[in-house]
């Protein structure tokens, strides 16, 4: 018995991964604000935003390198009996 990955499952995976990455970045942001209160100024906010963009880019590079795109776009097709 094989499990087919449908288009809805694929969209759900993508959205789940997107929200996971977004929540991780927000969590890191709030942690930085809590630990370093000087980042609540405008200059600190710009530094923090650049750190968030850098983290997002590192996530992108990491997922690109480890083939997450292949994982997200994989749809198992049923095998044809010969």
Number of separate domains in the chain: 1
pLDDT tens across the length of the chain (82 residues): 456 667 777 777 777 888 888 788 778 777 777 777 776 676 666 777 777 778 778 877 777 766 665 666 655 555 566 5
- Res 74: pLDDT: 59
18 within domain boundaries:
yes
63 within domain boundaries:
yes
81 within domain boundaries:
no
Dihedral of CA atoms 12, 17, 18, 23 in degrees, nearest 10, equals: 120
- Res 72: pLDDT: 60
Domain coverage including residue 66: 7-73
Q: Which of 30, 70, 75 is nearest to 51 (CA)?
A: 30
- Res 66: pLDDT: 65
44 within domain boundaries:
yes
- Res 11: pLDDT: 77
């Amino acid at each position: 018995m094989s499990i087919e990955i449908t288009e809805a499952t694929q969209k759900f995976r993508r959205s789940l991964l997107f929200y996971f990455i977004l929540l991780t970045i927000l969590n890191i942001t709030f942690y930085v604000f809590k630990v370093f209160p000087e980042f609540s100024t405008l200059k600190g906010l710009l530094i923090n935003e650049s750190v968030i963009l850098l983290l997002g880019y590192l996530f992108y590079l990491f997922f690109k390198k480890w083939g997450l795109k292949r994982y997200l776009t994989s749809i198992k097709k049923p095998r044809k009996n010969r």
